[in-house]
Chain A
Amino acid sequence: MSSLRHIQALFCESIFEDQSGSAVNELSRYITPRPGLSPQDHVKIYRRSVLAKLAEALSEIYPVCLKLVGEAFFSAMAHTFVRQTPSRSPDLGEYGHDFGDFIEGFEPAATLPYLPDVARLEWAWHRVYHAEAAEPLDPESLARVPADQQGRIRFHLAPSSRLLKSIYPVHRIWQVNQTEYDGDGRVDLDDGGIRLLVWRQGFDMHINPLDEGTWYVLKSCRDGNDFATVCENLEQRAPNADISAILPELVERGWISSFSL
């Protein structure tokens, strides 16, 4: 290994390693001490800066989680996450997608069982915000599909949309924790679960609660099923739902933005 590669690998390890400090101690022999600052102190400046930058990225993506647990708790939780989760992309906007899963296993947050799903909702919001806009589906091109081919159609959700389900009223939790919200801030956790679509219309962000039928149709399409299977799923899961009413609405709202055969 070249000496440069060796130094870079040690540097990276020094940023994320635990208290043992074995990497930073080895790196130290390459670093010039200064009055009042040991080689380890020099590396610590970078360690703090890198970890703070990643934690800061999380606080920007997850402002509602931050508000729910307070800054000190969030910072401790975020730092635990970033020390064990390196960024794998030059795009910091792709960092932190599994923060919700992490929170679910983060013991000190166990008293807030809805927190992981709030995080997942915020991640969905973040990705939809940055996603590509889709052209609406042309109903005429759909009408041209021969009747005997219709069962094979695969409908695709708009790229600027995300489905999300929770056993907690996370939509309401999200709403009452928005900066501009000034209504009744109470949330009854017994309000029960919710199925949501986070989506963007042009440049307006939306979160829509979905009825059971709409949810199953969208979810089944998202999972890559053809239309015949989507209808079967719907029949099993929500027998009272009417696909002939649901489908045109999904197309009209732009939630389904394309199809393939």
Chain B
Amino acid sequence: MSRFTEAPIGGAGIGLRTKHYQDVLSGQGAQLQEVIENRPPVAWFEVLTDNYLGTGGLPRHHLHQVRENYPLTFHGVGMSLGSTDPLDYGYLTRLKALIEDFEPAWVSDHLAWVSVGGRYLHDLIPFPYTREALDLFAQRIIEVQEFLGRRILVENPSTYLSFTNCEMSEWAFVKALVEQADCELLIDVNNIYVSAVNNGFDPLEYVRAIPAERVREIHLAGYEEMGQYLFDTHGYRVRPPVWELYRFVLDQLGPTPTLIEWDNDIPDFSVLLEEAAKAQAEIDRLEAAA
């Protein structure tokens, strides 16, 4: 029996950002204060687990206050699932304790690696989609799932390069991976679009190949035009072509919980609510048609 609200995850959620926790002390943490005091109508919040690895302190205290009123999902980058280093059980142990503490509906990480040789890049680095990588990646997910005692979701990242020695497409890799590792998926529609433009593939071909029954969640965010490429800034409203692709994805997958992410130049909370309402409207449209 959960100590918290047992409301299931559904509809449009918002990515909760902790960078303003400290500001709350001086009355400037607008977003957090908004969430804790005014309890805005948000279906659920997703938190960046890697910001709560500390043993205690204010971030966890604030997160407890949020958890009292909202369902949560966990999202991180620290598993480094594509790395050729050994799994970091120190990290996984801290993550497991955090899961026990906050009871998230699910836990996700990325189709990427962030560390090698004990050095952490804290950024999602792609790898060549080969059989070797597939076996390694699947094996690591199996070990993580065993350790955590639950399935995890894996998210497709934005990529800014592709490797010459790939043996398959990203979507073929993803399809094979979920079978081999028995994991679930978090589909980032913005990332599919950004990667497609940057690496010259057809985003619709990717979407058509997604194993719908494995998808638990969708991410949306705003990219930035850099001239020669698109960058996954998470600092803008969701762009029109991504909304368009999102509608296509929903038609493929059916109504799916969708999260708005915003990490840079975080706007007034009302802007996040507007973006979430737009996603909710698309989900509602689909449900009404069903």
A141 at the interface (CB under 8 A from B): no
| Residues from chain A with Cβ under 8 Å of B161 in the complex | 31-32, 39, 42-43, 45-46
- Of residues 1 through 15 on chain A, the ones whose CB sits less than 8 Å from some CB of chain B are 2-5, 7-9, 11-12, 15
Contact B22 A129 (CB under 8 A): yes
| Residues from chain A with Cβ under 8 Å of B78 in the complex | 90-91
The SS class assigned to the A binding surface is helix
Chain A binder among B112-120, B212-220, B247-255:
B112-120
Contact B120 A87 (CB under 8 A): yes
A223 to chain B, nearest CB (A): 23
Measured CB to CB, the nearest residue on chain B to A28 is: B164
Question: What are the interface flags for B254-284 relative to A under an 8 Å C-beta threshold, 1 for contact and 0 otherwise?
Answer: 0000000000000000000000000000000
Q: How far is the CA of A86 from the CA of B116 in the complex (A)?
A: 11
Given A4-B127, A45-B160, A131 and B228 touching (CB < 8 A)?
no
Chain B binder among A47-55, A162-170, A233-241, A252-260:
A47-55
B30 at the interface (CB under 8 A from A): no
| Residues from chain B with Cβ under 8 Å of A86 in the complex | 119-120
B26 to chain A, nearest CB (A): 5
Contact A92 B122 (CB under 8 A): yes
Given A9-B116, A46-B160, A90-B91, A131 and B121 touching (CB < 8 A)?
no
Question: What are the interface flags for A28-62 relative to B under an 8 Å C-beta threshold, 1 for contact and 0 otherwise?
Answer: 01111010110101110110011001100100100
| Residues from chain A with Cβ under 8 Å of B186 in the complex | none
Contact B123 A49 (CB under 8 A): yes
Contact B199 A53 (CB under 8 A): no
- B residues contacting the other copy or chain, number (CB 8 A): 53
Question: What are the interface flags for B76-103 relative to A under an 8 Å C-beta threshold, 1 for contact and 0 otherwise?
Answer: 0110100110001001001000000000
Contact A5 B199 (CB under 8 A): no
Q: How far is the CA of A34 from the CA of B160 in the complex (A)?
A: 10
Measured CB to CB, the nearest residue on chain B to A57 is: B122
Chain A binder among B3-11, B56-64, B142-150:
B56-64
Partner pick for A34 among B57, B128, B164, B199, CB 8 A cutoff: B199
Contact B228 A36 (CB under 8 A): yes
Question: What are the interface flags for A178-190 relative to B under an 8 Å C-beta threshold, 1 for contact and 0 otherwise?
Answer: 1110000000000
Question: What are the interface flags for A122-139 relative to B under an 8 Å C-beta threshold, 1 for contact and 0 otherwise?
Answer: 000000011111000000
Q: How far is the CA of A242 from the CA of B198 in the complex (A)?
A: 70
Contact A8 B164 (CB under 8 A): no
Question: What are the interface flags for A91-126 relative to B under an 8 Å C-beta threshold, 1 for contact and 0 otherwise?
Answer: 111000000000000000000000000000000000
| Residues from chain B with Cβ under 8 Å of A2 in the complex | 84, 132
Partner pick for A12 among B94, B121, B122, B199, CB 8 A cutoff: B121
Contact A130 B117 (CB under 8 A): no
Q: How far is the CA of A91 from the CA of B117 in the complex (A)?
A: 16
A81 to chain B, nearest CB (A): 15
| Residues from chain A with Cβ under 8 Å of B123 in the complex | 46, 49-50, 53
Measured CB to CB, the nearest residue on chain B to A131 is: B57
| Residues from chain B with Cβ under 8 Å of A144 in the complex | none
Contact A133 B56 (CB under 8 A): yes
Contact A31 B162 (CB under 8 A): yes
Given A60-B19, A179-B28, A7 and B119 touching (CB < 8 A)?
no
Question: What are the interface flags for B43-67 relative to A under an 8 Å C-beta threshold, 1 for contact and 0 otherwise?
Answer: 0000000110111111101000000
Partner pick for A32 among B54, B77, B136, B162, CB 8 A cutoff: B162
Q: How far is the CA of A54 from the CA of B122 in the complex (A)?
A: 8
| Residues from chain B with Cβ under 8 Å of A88 in the complex | 118-120
Q: Most chain-A Cβ atoms within 10 A of its Cβ — which of B26, B121, B123?
A: B121
| Residues from chain B with Cβ under 8 Å of A131 in the complex | 54-57
Q: 15 A-B Cβ contacts within 8 A?
A: A3-B165, A4-B133, A8-B116, A8-B127, A9-B117, A12-B119, A30-B165, A32-B161, A36-B228, A91-B91, A93-B51, A133-B57, A160-B56, A160-B57, A180-B26
Known: A5-B116, A57-B122. 5 other contacts (CB 8 A): A32-B161, A45-B161, A46-B160, A92-B122, A130-B57
The 4 closest A-B CB pairs, nearest first, are A90-B78, A132-B56, A42-B161, A130-B54
Chain A interfacial positions (CB closer than 8 Å to B)? 2-5, 7-9, 11-12, 15, 29-32, 34, 36-37, 39, 41-43, 45-46, 49-50, 53-54, 57, 60, 86-93, 129-133, 160, 178-180, 200, 203-205
